[in-house]
Amino acid sequence: MKRDHVKQTDRGENIREIERFFPAPGYDLSATLSSGQAFRWEQVRDGWEGVVGKRWVRLVPEGGGIQAVLAEPVDGWDWLRSYLQLDVAFDRVLATFPRDPAMERAVDQCSGLRLLRQDPWECLASFILSSTKQIVQIKQIIRALCEKHGQPVTAGLAGEQAWAFPDPDVVANLTELELRACKMGFRAPHLLGTARMIISGKVNLGALGAMPLESAREQLLELPGVGRKIADCVLLFAYGFQSAFPVDVWIAKGLRQLYFKGRNVPLARLQEFSRTYFGPYGGYAQQYLFHYWRIHAAAELRARKRYGKKN
DNA sequence: TACCAGGAGAGCG
DNA sequence: CGCTCTCATGGT
């Protein structure tokens, strides 16, 4: 135990803490961390362990909130509050969703799912690596990249080791071959090219948050390996553009099934539909549908196997 | 063993 | 434009 690292002054200033409890009623940590928005969290016993920025964190849901435990003490917790979006008035978000049967089922079954607010570079790089990969595989690629090229950070109370996500300048100075060694295949030149464009200053990730959604998206689309879907993921998960609505294969399937009677509606029309139909927090609605549809479809598949295929 | 995965980009008519 | 093909790799 490292409790002796927790120092307090009489005046209550410079309090360095190694753990803290955050009240978060209704927050479903498991759904949030496993819903395909972030890829570095692992379930360990009754909690989740990962690296946020340069810090290893263990999060345990308990008693209407989240207990956070670090490996090393910190001065403040704003970085974690922001990452977990603990201050979002969530009832007001839910109230803006369209009231249709599909949306209500999704909210009903995934209530407690939240959107994170991630670091733009890590989020961008992660989703460049995500294209045509299953979530389990994306996690493997990112783990390899971090273990080979990320900065080591202290993890756990016994001082084990974890790795931070490698910064853009580190990635930019790697070779395509070194990146391919992380099993990212044809995504390697995309990631490399993007890292180099960011280092060169041709795209400034720090400036996008203050831009209108469309301008920020335009900037992201300049980067190699970044199309509409990945751009929207980054706009939503890293910059907090709540109306960005990434349409991937799952969402596309779900939208066609749930809102178009299974008709083969073209992607562009699905994007147009999602932009107008789901409201100012469409991104949130999207994450509910994504999570719901992924679980729903998986359950359906298992049921078919068990009872024998009817089709 | 086949099929497919939180796509993007080039090439075609 | 809109459609098709390819890209690399591994889970199910």
Distance A2 CA to C10 C1' (A): 41
* pLDDT band, residue A13 (cuts 50/70/90): low
Q: Does the CB of A268 sit below 7 A from strand C?
A: yes
Distance A41 CA to B3 C1' (A): 28
Burial (CB < 10 A; 0-12, 13-18, 19+), residue A66, is buried
Of chain A, the end-to-end C-alpha distance in Å amounts to: 56
Per the prediction, chain A carries an average pLDDT of 91
pLDDT for A304: 59
Give the global pTM: 0.94
Give the single-character DSSP code of A16.
Answer: B
In this complex, the nucleotide whose C1' atom is nearest to the CA atom of residue A185 is: C8
Ramachandran area for residue A118 (φ above 0: left; ψ -120 to 50: alpha; else beta): beta
Instruction: Tell me which nucleotides of strand B come within 7 A of a protein CB.
Output: 5-9
The residue among A293, A291, A286 whose CA lies nearest residue A97 is: A286
Six-digit token pair at A148? 């080979």
pLDDT tens for each residue of A155-169: 998 889 999 999 999
Q: Residues A186-196: what's their mean pLDDT?
A: 98
Q: How far is CA A68 from CA A84, A102, A238, in A?
A: 11, 34, 21
Q: Does the CB of A133 sit below 7 A from strand C?
A: yes
